[in-house]
Structure 1
Amino acid sequence: MKVAVLGATGLVGRTFVKLLEGHPWFRVEKLVASERSAGKKYGELVEDAPEEFKDYVVASLTEFLEDPEVDLVFNALPASISRDVEEKLAKEIPVFTNARAHRYDEDVPILVPEVNKEHLELIKVQKEKRDWKGFIVTNPNCSTAILTVSLAALRSFGIKKVRVATMQAISGAGFSGLSAYAIHDNVIPFISGEEWKIENESRKILGTLRDDKIEFADFDISAIATRVPVIHGHTEAVFVELENPDVEEIRRAFEEFDPLKDLDLPSYEKPIVYTEVPQPRLHRDRGKGLTVTVGRLEEISGGVKYVVLGHNLVRGAAGGSVLNAELAYRLGYL
């Protein structure tokens, strides 16, 4: 399938491009960026561009929208411009997006393949409701993606309440999101909008598809989001109240959680690996960035606490979106 990457020069866009190099199903045909980047070779704009794409001439978004000529779009554009762009493209072309613009639409899934692949059925609802040939599939906020992989392994224990404190890498704020002076020697216990996203996206992702709608999971969840001086890799301290807490069974559930292993997806990696002390510098690149690391599992009153860590640009962004598209392809939605 011929694909385009929108926002190809940003942090998430660059990650998309790297992950798609040599992909057996998806062939990058177009790299799209801002007007100031248009007409330049990708290798001139991105020093560590994969060899395969260095000589690609970058197209402007305006130019691309006039004549897309691809089968599939990966979107890494800012949320502020994504809604209109995605809806225009989805009339004809499937869009897999990292932007939040459509995450909360009733007929649009927030997809984490290991967690809620059945939500892809909303594609049929979306097409019929909006009279589109294409569709939109979103992936979640980066911290939510990492958290929900771990929570999915606990569903059979009856999740009642979740409390989570995130320690998020600076790359989650983009190239210009934080000054070095602001984050160096510092922890910033506030990220605008982040806590709301974690709390609401998690319940949608872990919800149940019924009568063409998602019934949000009914557990209680509250988050505190912090920014820490780590380049890549979000770490989260999680406290979960459960109906049936059993630490040894829960540890086994983490280690055995592997719902996509038989689908033969090109980007597949084991979703969870248990390590007693997860650390971003040591473990963020596990499974090419798609594997989350769980550790520090201990019993607390009525539940468990643990730490989960994942690569925010891969599992939490571009890699999750590529995996979403692979799952949709394998299950016949593309």
Structure 2
Amino acid sequence: MGESSSVSENLPRQAGKIRVGVLGATGAVGQRFIQVLANHPWFELSVLAASHRSAGKRFADACHWYLDEPMPAAVRTMTLEPGQPGMDCEILFSALPNNIAQDLEPTLAAAGYAVYSNAGSHRAEPDVPLLIPEVNPQHAALIETQRTRRGWRGFIVTNPNCTATHLTCALKPLHDAFGLRRVFVVSMQAVSGAGYPGVSALDITDNVIPYIGNEEDKVQTEPLKMLGLYAVDGIMPANFRISAHCNRVPTRDGHLECVSVELDRPATEVEMVSAWENFRGLPQQLGLPTAPAHFIEVRAEADRPQPRRDRLAGNGMTTSVGRLRPCELLSYKFVLLGHNTLRGAAGGSVLNAELMVAQGYFGERAIAAPVQAALRATQLPLWQHA
């Protein structure tokens, strides 16, 4: 894809693996990408890219490591590159801020890279997939329209806003089983969602901030695109309404959301729980490497889910729900919890790439052959790169 560069000298090539890179590697989400990609069975992390100010430095020298888990030894001596065409990889995972992603990601897609973006810059564009593999795997096919319209050799696939991600995960089984008319959600969002160094300690200690810029609009619109109907020229949004309040609270990781839903068809609490517990998305059916065994985990305890106790369910890729009960205004209300920088950011983006490897976009790969064979055996709609 890109031409060889000096970073490829840092690590030996791993036979059969797909070479990938991380844009914005030194930031909080970039570090999550590195954590998720370390020892990945399909992907070889060969490129770390950062600003021109950091380019040329060793990763360990340029990065203030934010995560509790230690920095993977393999990346410590890797040389940071500027994010530009010529990087030696096929796939780029982007943790760039919106203002940089807006122009740089299309440049890289045009140059032939498969860009999996965590930025919000392109999510609303009609030919850009906004993807959660368990929710709307068929939307990946939009990239053919995208490439044709834009004349790109590569493409951009986005994952949704972190709060919208877990809301959509919880709504998907209900939308399929009963339909939805109205959704009301109040979020309590961890400080890590603001990046590093994030919210000032003086602002968040002993406090709740009842405003997160542009967040409510994302939560009210992105689930409708993901739960909408695929068409070659775009997505027809789902026909229900969402009203959101978004708040920043003094927890480190894990977004908690209080949700009320009005169903289109009547359902009992037992049927609601059954819809969640019995839902298995395509990643679970195929056993994709980053997919959790349980897409939704239903907690029966009166005081769960909680951020500290439940955010790492399914290695941070599971959405936990609990406190299901009748709602005095709508049909039912419940609480959900999900990890904002794993499923809600880096982990979700890596799972998007795994899905498209399984779907055959990157060709027949020995590393993914069992999964590709399993997908063909399901006789489910399969998008293949022409």
State TM-score, norm by structure 2: 0.84
SS of 2:332 mapped into structure 1: strand
Show the counterpart of 1:180: 201
> Which whole-Å CA distance do the structure 2 matches of 1:258 and 1:307 have between them?
20
Match of 1:59 in 2: 81
How far off its partner does 1:211 sit?
4.2
Which letter does structure 2 place at the counterpart of 1:79?
N
Which secondary structure state, in structure 1, belongs to the residue aligned with residue 134 of structure 2? helix
Residue 344 of structure 2: SS of its match in structure 1? coil
| Identity across matched positions, percent | 46
Quote how far apart the aligned CAs of 1:257 are.
1.5
Whether 2:20 is the aligned partner of 1:3: answer yes
Of 49-58 and 193-202, more deviation after overlay is shown by 49-58
Q: Which amino acid aligns with 1:162?
A: V
Match of 2:72 among 36, 50, 53: 50
- AA paired with 1:210? A
User: Bigger shift: 321-330 or 249-258?
Assistant: 249-258
Secondary structure of the 1:317 match is helix
Partners of 1:96 and 1:196 in 2: how far apart?
A: 22
Task: Work out which of the residue numbers 105, 109, 121 in structure 2 matches 1:90.
Answer: 109
How many angstroms apart in 2 are the aligned matches of 1:60 and 1:135? 20
2-11 or 209-218, which moves further after superposition?
A: 209-218
2:98 is the counterpart of 1:74: no
2:146 and 2:155 in contact (8 A); partners too: yes
Q: Is the 8 A contact 2:126 2:233 kept in 1?
A: no
Give the conservation status (yes or no) of the 8 Å contact 2:166–2:344.
yes
Which residue of structure 1 aligns with residue 344 of structure 2?
Answer: 316
Q: Which amino acid aligns with 2:134?
A: E
Note the alpha carbon deviations across 1:132-168, whole angstroms, 9 max, x for none: 1111000000000011000001012110000000000
CA RMSD of aligned residues (A): 1.2
TM-superposed deviation, 1:66: 4.2
Q: CA deviation at 1:46?
A: 4.1
Q: For 2:109 and 2:254, locate their aligned partners in 1 and report how far apart those are by CA, in whole Å.
A: 31
* 1:95-142: CA deviation from partner (whole Å, max 9, x where unpaired): 000001110111001101111111011011111111211110000000
Aligned equivalents of 1:9, 1:105: Cα separation in 2? 28
| Residue among 201, 225, 228 paired with 1:204 | 225
Matched, 1:264 2:287: yes
**How is 1:188-199 mapped onto 2 (pairs within 5 angstroms)?**
188-199=209-220
User: Aligned AA for 2:23?
Assistant: L
Number of residue-to-residue matches in the alignment: 331
- Cα deviation for residue 181 of structure 1 reads 0.6
Q: Which residue is 1:157 aligned to?
A: 178
Max radius of gyration: which structure?
2
TM-score calculated relative to the size of structure 1: 0.96
Distance 1:66 1:207, change over 3 A: closer
DSSP-derived class of the 1:153 partner: helix
How much has 1:314 moved relative to structure 2? 0.3
Distance in structure 1 (CA, Å) of the matches to 2:127 and 2:85: 27
Does residue 120 of structure 2 align to residue 103 of structure 1? no
Give unmatched runs, 5+ long, in structure 2. 1-17, 363-386
8 Å CA contact 2:47, 2:88 repeated in 1: no
**Mean alpha-carbon deviation: is it higher for 84-93 or for 219-228?**
84-93
Q: Contact between 2:32 and 2:346, CA under 8 Å: does it hold in 1?
A: yes
Deviation string 1:242-267 (CA, Å, 9 cap, x unpaired) is 02232110011111122132212111
Alignment partner for residue 171 of structure 1, among 176, 181, 192? Answer: 192
Q: Aligned pair 1:331/2:343, yes or no? A: no
In the TM superposition, residue 289 of structure 1 has moved relative to its aligned partner by 0.5
Query: CA offsets per residue over residues 283-330 of structure 1, 9 Å max, x none?
Result: 101111101110001122551100010000001100000000000110
Q: Which residue identity lines up with residue 297 of structure 2 in the other structure? A: V
Could you list the runs of 4 or more consecutive aligned residues of structure 1 that deviate by over 4 angstroms after TM superposition? none
CA contact (8 A) 2:48 2:79 kept: yes
3-state SS of 2:286 partner: coil
